[in-house]
Amino acid sequence: MSSADLTSERDLPPEREASAKGDVAPERDGPRDTGMDDASLHRWLTRTWRTPPGIIGALSSVDHKVIARRYLITAFLFLCLGGLNAVVMRIQLSGPRRGLIGPDLYNQLFTMHGVTMMFLFAVPIVQATGIYLVPLMVGTRNIAFPRLNAFSYWVYVSGGLFAWVSFALSMAPDVGWFAYVPLSGPEYGPGKRADVWAQMITYTEVSSLAVAVATIVTIFKQRAPGMSLDKIPLYVWSLLVTSFVVVFAMPAVMITSTFLILDRLVGTHIFNPAEGGDALLFQHLFWFFGHPEVYIIFLPATGMVSAIIPAFARRPVFGHLGLVLSLIAVGFLSFGLWVHHMFATGLPKLGASFFTASSMMIAIPNGVQIFCWLATLWDGRPVIRTPLLFVFGFFFIFVIGGLTGVMLASVPLDLQVHDTYFVVAHFHYVLIGGAVFPLLGAAYFWFPKITGRMMSERLGRWHFWLALIGFNAAFFPMHIVGLWGMPRRVYTYPAELGWGNINLFITAGAVLFFLSFVLFAFNLIHGALKGAPAGDNPWDAGTLEWATSSPPPSYNFARIPVVTNVEPLWAEPQALPVATGLRADVRELLISTVAEAHPDIREKSATPSIWPLLAAIAVGGTFLYSIFTPWAIVWGAAPIAVTLIGWFWPKGDPEDEE
Amino acid sequence: MKRLASIAFATAIALSLQGCSGWQSALDPKGPAASELAWLIWFFTGLCAVVWVLVMVALAMPLMMRSRQRAEPLVLDAGADNRKLRVVMTAVGLTAVILVGLTLVSFFANRTLAAIGSDVALTIRVTGHQWWWEVRYEDATPSRILTTANEIHIPAGEPVRLLLTSTDVIHSFWVPSLSGKLDLIPGHMNVLDIKADKPGVYRGQCAEFCGAQHANMGTFVIAEPRAKFDAWWNDQLQPAAAPMSDEAKAGENLFLKRPCVMCHKIGGTPAGGTVAPDLTHVASRQTLAAGTLTMSRGNLAAWIADPQGVKPGSHMPVVDLSGDELNAIVAYLEGLK
């Protein structure tokens, strides 16, 4: 951003809002960015917004970029752990009747693989990317509710530790990531394993709900002046829709896991058919969350694709409005398809047919997205760099996953392939093709912004081809072996069924795919240490995150940019117009109106605090204790109350005293 | 990418040729339902493959064309964008038409499947247990009601109604070469009509994760000509064969004195347990422990001596037997044809 453009303030008379507040006494009014020279503004803002030094300071950080970096690294570690799980399972399945591991460990492994990938990797990493990028893309200084954001990270970490420490103690859940009753119920799931599942869900859902709320408020209220609804980048739209889906879907699974805990711990019989409960109720509740969950993972990835394609196609995305409407349509429709996970439970025929139709229908908005991206790429020759390669990989793989999804939507067809390796192939094509490949592309795309250095392009290409070949070698044959009758979640199979060779091939592909991630990890570390300096905008992209330096300063933007186009940097290639008037000595944000993004008021942003960590420890301890006794809720309430009181203790700001 | 696709395709063909002899395969239909479904699978696969190839061609087009990179990102050709809009709208319209078509195809396939059971004469109650199948043949005459385990004999060429339920956790009944799967849910009763075109043995296994030994919960549908089936039913109604040798007699005594009797039933003896498979005619079955072992003297001995080694986690306990005792029990069970 240029410093020379101080005067081109648009739409924003900051003095007016200050006076509108009425009581801002001159002596309380500290230095503002208006008219301040760049060097002293930088000094002021750094002092105001930096994360305090020292360990306590680091643990108190509320900087969205710091939290997001921790989230990203933690989620990547969980990805590696989940991947290792998968490799061990694949070695066990590489031949018939192999004895590497027994059913007890195998069942824990596939449960931990699913739980880790869904709750500890996929959802956190897409939300973490949003935590990092959304405030930068909408041109604000920090995420809304920054302490809640910090809290969400600590709760997420404790949930992850809880699950993996349980695994190390051989008390990890062994009932599948879906944990159907009665298998996970008190009668057939002895020990604490199913309780670990239920409470781990609670941790991660609390954390993702917190992030969703912060993301929604950031997008609605903190957009840079001029960023009206039609100028919001598609990536930000995708996070907005995703966050709403989180808000409506996650409570369903929290209810599911809480009911399960109640059945197991308190002796309710909600899911016990012998006492008038119903085992199928669990599945309805679970999938009412479980299907939107897929879109919680997939929608942000479409946002990444919508961010990467324009940068390399060198034009704004074709059909911006259509893409926004598709995102919203997918968000709504995702709640109307959950029953297609339950076609084999023996539903009334008419009801099942309805869900066939609704499941087919969601392919239409997804088709709109695919066609609009293709149309964007048809304009001239795209610049082929690693991020775009991964987007091509996304098309190659995800379209197959989408089409097999159409096959699964058909009730009769689903009855043959449901719960077989065909479904395993399908959802890995959807989730790895639809989310992991875009995420890898996004990693190459935004890595320079986060670290200030480039990742190796050459290694990136090797990584891409290794991942593409390894993935398809591992997962394409699963379609076939599923049609040959191999069910999911079996720890072994007899030789006479003839599945041995194809499973050996799959295992080889899986190892190759795993190696591609080793290469990726090397490229990440190498890039962070020795990569070429990136500059502010290495891809010459158009959205606001590229306007600030790489890595961005703690305050993101020295002066809040004013947006005139959906690709502001392309519209104002010389220098972005800016809005001024924010205080430099306290953490102040510009709050704008929801639809038009007119500047509205100035608002304080929370300062660093250790209380979110302490609150997360209190909450985490309560959840952990609660798998042993319901009294944990009573005893845990006290420390939670203490930490929350500390967290929200009035600071004596003039505003608070009013 | 083209090269990759062709490699993947060649692999798929090579592998599918290898596996088509499978006796537990959705692509190897042996009954009207599975045939309808195999047709449906191939139809959907073909159509989806065409769509996928078209999308890949559309993706490859800008890479093939030797056009220049755009210089001015915001300078757009309105005419070209309008043409694109028409193409995109057409593609979306076609997508919608294809999806409506597939919905209808799937709806009518479902009706065809529902018609298979319009004229059933035989009803079999299949109850899922961790990790075996209880099979009960219903009959209006109580004395003709028959209970067996893991193997389902049916008359070939006749529709048979299966009533599916469970007493513990959820299981799923799936014999892919005859029909799609359907869950066995405690507290619910599901109805699945199956029909085998020809006599034969069709393997299936539990398809819903049901705990430690989900992988070893196999079942066999054995379709026979009507006369043979009727004869089988009559044989199975007979009480257990009396032990012939001294060793087998000793085995019967041991069976009745040891914990075996707590769980298993042997018709014609005091053994009346119902929580484990009925052993009245156990030696007439082809496999042991729900498809885990083939029926043989050695496997019978292995299964009784070390059930937790053969099927870890199974509910069959280890019973402390000396070598002679084990031999005696095996000799007895071996005679229960």
Q: Could you give the number of structural domains in chain A?
A: 2
Rounded Cα distance, A312 and A373, in Å: 12
- Please provide the DSSP assignment of A102-143 as one string: -HHHHHHHHHHHHHIIIIIIIHHHHHHHHHHHHHHHHT-SS-
Residue A655: the pLDDT is: 58
Which residues lie closer than 8 Å to A105 by C-beta, 6 or more apart?
A: A170
Using the beta-carbon criterion (under 8 Å), do A361 and B99 form an inter-chain contact? yes
Give dist(CA A231, CA A568) in Å, integer: 9
CATH of the domain at A334: 1.20.210.10
Task: Tell me how far apart the alpha carbons of residues A583 and A29 are, in angstroms, rounded to a whole number.
Answer: 8
Left, alpha or beta for A35 (phi > 0: left; psi -120 to 50: alpha)? left
C-alpha to C-alpha distance for A625 and B248, rounded to whole angstroms: 56
- Residue B199 token pair: 């006599």
Name the residue type at position A169.
Answer: L
Residue in B56, B70, B113 closest to A380 by CB: B70
Is the residue at A567 inside a domain?
Answer: no
User: CA of A171: how far to CAs of A180, A534, B188, in Å?
Assistant: 18, 46, 31
A506 with A641, same domain? no
Residue A586 lies in a domain: no
Count of Cβ atoms closer than 10 Å to residue B263 Cβ: 16
Judged by CB atoms closer than 8 Å, whether chains meet at B205 and A273 is answered as no
**What is the separation of C-alpha A243 from the centre of its chain, rounded to a whole number of angstroms?**
9
- Return the structure tokens found at A98: 């192999």
| Inter-residue contact A363 to A406 (CB < 8 Å) | yes
| Shortest Cα distance, chain A CAs vs residue B193, angstroms | 12
How large is the greatest C-alpha to C-alpha distance in chain B, in angstroms?
Answer: 98
DSSP code for A574: S
Instruction: Tell me how far apart the alpha carbons of residues A558 and A578 are, in angstroms, rounded to a whole number.
Output: 9
Cβ neighbours of A183 in B, within 8 Å:
169-170, 209-211
Contacts of A472 in chain B (CB under 8 A): 4, 8
Please tell me the distance from the alpha carbon of residue B215 to that of residue A534, in angstroms, as a whole number.
52
Q: Among residues A493, A514, A545, which one ends one of the domains? A: A545
- Identify from A378, A414, A512 which residue to disrupt to test chain B contact, counting B C-beta atoms within 10 A and taking the largest count: A378
Q: How is the beta sheet containing B151-155 ordered, strand by strand?
A: B151-155, B218-224, B200-205
Q: Which residues contact A336 (CB under 8 A, 6 or more apart)?
A: A355, A358
Check CB contact under 8 Å for B187 and A468: no
Chain A residues whose CB is inside 8 A of the B62 CB are: 377-382
CB contacts, 8 Å: A407 with chain B: 41, 44-45, 48
Q: Considering only alpha carbons, which residue of chain A is nearest residue B78? A: A318
Contact A484 B24 (CB under 8 A): yes
In a domain, A156, yes or no: yes
Task: Tell whether A517 and A621 lie within a shared domain.
Answer: no
What pLDDT sits at residue B11? 52
Residues A342-377: b if buried by 16+ CB within 10 A, e if exposed: bbbbbbeeeebbebbbbbbbbbbbbbbbbbbbbbbb
Of B41, B84, B102, the CB nearest to A416: B41
Task: Give B197→chain A minimum CA distance, Å.
Answer: 18
Identical fold between B23-63+80-234 and B246-334: yes
Q: What angle do CA B323, B327, B328 make, to 5 degrees?
A: 115
Give tens-digit pLDDT for A68-78: 999 999 999 99
Contact B102 A406 (CB under 8 A): yes
Q: Does any domain span residue A477?
A: yes
> Are A271 and A393 contained in the same domain?
yes
CB A257, CB A626: distance < 8 Å = no
Question: Cβ B172–A419 below 8 Å, yes or no?
Answer: yes
Last residue of a domain, one of A545, A575, A598: A545
A618 and A478, same domain (yes or no) = no
Which pLDDT tens digit goes with each residue over A531-554?
999 999 999 999 999 999 999 999
Cis peptide bond prior to A182, omega within 30° of 0: yes
Q: Concatenated DSSP letters for A54-76?
A: HHHHHHH---HHHHHHHHHHHHH
CA distances from B126 to A97, B190, B221 (A): 28, 10, 12
pLDDT of residue A28: 57
Judge whether A588 lies within some domain: no
Q: In this prediction, what percent of chain B has a pLDDT beyond 70?
A: 93
As a whole number of angstroms, the distance between CA B287 and CA A435 comes to 44
Q: Is A103 in contact with B21 (Cβ distance < 8 A)?
A: no
Q: Would you list the domain boundaries of chain B?
A: 23-63+80-234, 246-334
Residue B194: enclosing H or E segment and its boundaries? strand B190-194
Residue ranges, chain A, pLDDT below 70: 1-28, 652-658
Rounded distance, CA A462 to CA B116, Å? 54
Closest Cα in chain A, distance from residue B224 (Å): 22
Q: Note whether A390 and A464 are within 8 A (CB).
A: yes
Give the model confidence (pLDDT) of A209-222 as tens digits: 999 999 999 999 99
As a whole number of angstroms, the distance between CA A305 and CA A442 comes to 8
Query: Which residues in A lie closer than 8 A to residue B114 (C-beta atoms)?
Result: 349
Rounded to the nearest angstrom, the gap between the alpha carbon of residue B101 and the centroid of all alpha carbons in its chain is 30
Signed CA dihedral, A548, A549, A553, A559: sign only: negative
Taking an 8 Å cut-off on Cβ atoms, the answer to whether B19 and A356 are in contact is no
Residue B205 bridge partners (DSSP): B218
Distance CA A50, CA A61 (A): 9
The packing angle between helices A363-377 and A279-313, to 10°, is 10
Across the interface, whether the CB atoms of B70 and A314 are under 8 A apart is answered: yes
Contacts of B103 in chain A (CB under 8 A): 356-357, 360, 410
B246-334 fold? Immunoglobulin-like (2.60.40)
- Look up residue B114 and give its amino acid: A
Task: In whole angstroms, give the CA distance from residue B170 to residue A344.
Answer: 11
Q: Which domain holds residue A615?
A: 610-648
Query: Which residues make Cβ contacts (< 8 Å) with residue B269, sequence separation at least 6?
Result: B239, B240, B252, B255, B256
How far apart, in whole angstroms, are the C-alpha atoms of residue B99 and residue B111? Answer: 18
* CA atoms lying within 13 Å on the CB side of residue B50: 8
Please indicate if any CB of chain A lies within 8 Å of the CB of B70: yes
Alpha helices in A262-319 (DSSP H): 279-313
Please tell me the distance from the alpha carbon of residue A213 to that of residue A240, in angstroms, as a whole number: 10
Partner-chain residue, chosen from B21, B211, B213, that has the shortest CB–CB distance to A183 = B211
Q: Print the SS3 string covering A496-518.
A: HHCCHHHHHHHHHHHHHHHHHHH
Residue A599 falls inside a structural domain: no
The pLDDT assigned to A223 comes to: 97
ipTM of the complex: 0.92
Q: Is A128 exposed, middle or buried (0-12, 13-18, 19+ CB in 10 A)?
A: buried
Give A381-405 as a 3 state SS string.
CCCCCHHHHHHHHHHHHHHHHHHHH
Domain identity same for A530 and A630: no
A199-230 as b/e: b if 16+ CB within 10 A: bbbbbbbbbbbbbbbbbbbbbbbbbbbbbbee
Cβ B74–A565 below 8 Å, yes or no? yes
In a domain, A132, yes or no: yes
Residues A617 and A528 in one domain: no
**Which tens digit of pLDDT belongs to each residue from B77-127?**
889 899 999 999 999 999 999 999 999 999 999 999 989 888 898 999 999
Handedness of CA A225, A229, A235, A236 (dihedral sign): positive
> Are residues A375 and B190, on separate chains, in Cβ contact within 8 Å?
no
Determine how many CB atoms are found less than 10 A away from the CB of residue B286: 12
Tell me: the pLDDT tens digits for B170-211?
A: 999 999 999 999 999 999 999 999 999 999 999 999 999 999
In this structure, are A501 and A626 located in the same domain? no
- Residue B62: band (very low, low, confident or very high) from pLDDT cuts 50, 70, 90: confident
What pLDDT, on the 0 to 100 scale, is given for residue A376? 93
User: Does the distance separating the beta carbons of A416 and B15 come in below 8 Å?
Assistant: no
Mutate to test the interface with B, among A379, A422, A478, A570 (most CBs of B within 10 A): A379
Rounded to a whole number of angstroms, the distance from the CA of B74 to the nearest CA of chain A is: 6
The answer to whether the peptide bond before residue A551 is cis (omega within 30 degrees of 0) is yes
User: Is domain B23-63+80-234 given the CATH code 2.102.10.10 in the classification?
Assistant: no
Count chain A–chain B contacts defined by CB atoms under 8 A: 296
Residue A395 lies in a domain: yes
- CA B2-B54-A411 angle, to 5 degrees, is 110
pLDDT given at position A350: 84
Chain B segment 248-287 residues within 8 A of A by beta carbon are none
